[in-house]
Amino acid sequence: MFYWSENCWFFKSPKTYVMKPYLPLLICLLFSINLFGQVNIAPIPGWKMDVSNGHYSFTPPAGNGSYGFKYEIFPPANNKGDLMEWLKTVTIQDLRTSGYSAPLPGEPQEAKDIQTLTTYSVIVQDASKRKITAMYFAYLRPDHTIRYGKVMRLREYSGNYINIAATHFVSLVKQEALTQNSANGAIASAPQQNTSASQSMPQMSGKGMSSADIKGIVLHSESSYGVGGMLIFIYKPYILFNNGSLYEHPEVSPNDLNVTQSRQSEPEKWGTWKLNGKTLTIVHGSKNGPTGKSNNWTGGWTWAAPAKKGEKLTATYGSISGGGNTAIGGGSITVSSKYITFNNQGQFTYETVGGGSYHDNSGGVSAYSARNTAGTYLLDGYSIEFRFNNGKVQRQCFYFYNEGDKEIFGIGNRPYTISK
């Protein structure tokens, strides 16, 4: 998923994920068109850019390494048929040419038309049998040729490289397609990803569900919208209770969840679950209660891990969310970054940065003394408690993506990855 954290930018996805965010593969069909042949595709600061016959390959600073990360932009191509069908055909051809498998049976596939942008995402295997997320994206240029690109990565990787590649491609969409669309009055609005934690969730401080009531939290790969309205995949949490019920996308700590009030005010978040081998069968809720229609998750989900009581974190973690509609013809793009620095003394500092800027939060001594953005923290199972220096106490749902691995965790629906 391009993930700018709510997946997410996700950072690194669960290592055990049967399914993971998307990866792209494309093939250069046909040929370039002169009208837009001179479009200047900008380099990405710090990345290596290789250009050959209008084909651009971008390599991040650390190289492809174990991430299997690839970002490519292809020369414009001709097509007179349906753009989605063309993109699916190109995807399969490029996968085969590049040495990947066909889309894996049983793994999720996403085909989306988001106004100006068409995307197709699949899970494949490389020559080493590693699962790769591939996302292809394309748009029609004013001269009726097609510009397309791809992002590929190991399913378990969802770090900031994804955000950088997505933002770069959005700028190209603006340069080649959106100027003409704006002149034609074709600007449309897009859904914006709501990444802020709800402060109005039904809560009962410390009187909600106990650890004995909870089977565990599972993470499921789902599509959403990220920076600039780009389609992304992120892992959403679901609390599975021992009585067979489930609660979707929790924000508050399960220990504070007022079940009775929640079922009345947000019945669409309550469903049921059954596990048969590796197949998780989910019945989602609705405004009128459970829908009764089951959804079999044969892949794309994994168990999250709880924290040990009193466990400590000693690093800075970042999470990026975004909105706007630049990907589909609009003119706005927003980026919101959240950084939390923890130390082994049980202290934290918290910072939100808007406007697309980034900040190095080093967690100096003075930062831990701030009244409104710092304090102490306590991890306990699927809960994290923040006690701010101003007296405010906030508890939210917490989980690690991989047992024994502190590089990525979730707070509510927002994933955080360690800053390196």
Angle 400-234-289 (CA atoms, 0-180°, nearest 5)? 95
Residues 6+ apart with CB under 8 A from 264: none
Q: Among 10-24, 39-53, 97-111, 364-378, where is mean pLDDT lowest?
A: 10-24
Per-residue pLDDT, 156:
73
Q: What is the C-alpha to C-alpha distance for residues 377 and 386, in angstroms, rounded to an integer?
A: 5
Do residues 266 and 248 lie in contact, with contact meaning Cβ atoms separated by under 8 Å?
Answer: no
Give me the residue label for tokens 């889309």: 103
Output the six-digit token pair for 212: 């004995």
pLDDT range class, residue 376, cuts 50, 70, 90: very high
Output the six-digit token pair for 385: 């408690």
pLDDT, tens only, 252-293:
999 999 999 999 999 999 999 999 998 999 998 887 766 667
Q: What is the C-alpha to C-alpha distance for residues 122 and 17, in angstroms, rounded to an integer?
A: 15
pLDDT range class, residue 310, cuts 50, 70, 90: very high
pLDDT, tens only, 114-164:
657 788 889 999 999 999 989 899 988 888 899 999 999 887 775 667 777
Q: What is the C-alpha to C-alpha distance for residues 360 and 318, in angstroms, rounded to an integer?
A: 10
Per-residue pLDDT, 66:
53
Residue in 101, 105, 106 with CA at minimum distance from that of residue 124:
101
Per-residue pLDDT, 220:
87
3-state secondary structure 176-239: HHHHHHHHCCCCCCCCCCCCCCCCCCCECCCCCCCHHHEEEEEEEEEEEECHHHCEEEEEEEEE
**Does pTM top 0.75 for this prediction?**
no
pLDDT, tens only, 221-262:
776 655 444 555 678 899 999 999 999 999 999 999 999 999
Do residues 383 and 396 lie in contact, with contact meaning Cβ atoms separated by under 8 Å?
Answer: yes
Per-residue pLDDT, 56:
96
Question: What are the residue boundaries of the structural domains of the chain, listed by start?
Answer: 34-154, 211-303, 316-418
Output the six-digit token pair for 356: 């697309």
Q: What is the C-alpha to C-alpha distance for residues 23 and 13, in angstroms, rounded to an integer?
A: 13
pLDDT, tens only, 97-126:
999 999 999 887 888 776 577 888 899 999
34-154: CATH homologous superfamily? Mog1/PsbP, alpha/beta/alpha sandwich (3.40.1000.10)
Residue in 222, 211, 176 with CA at minimum distance from that of residue 74:
176
Residues 6+ apart with CB under 8 A from 11: 3, 5, 157, 158, 159, 160, 407, 408, 415, 416, 417, 418
Q: What is the C-alpha to C-alpha distance for residues 33 and 76, in angstroms, rounded to an integer?
A: 6
Per-residue pLDDT, 155:
79
Query: What are the φ/ψ torsions at residue 227 (nearest 5 degrees)?
Result: -60, 130
pLDDT range class, residue 198, cuts 50, 70, 90: very low
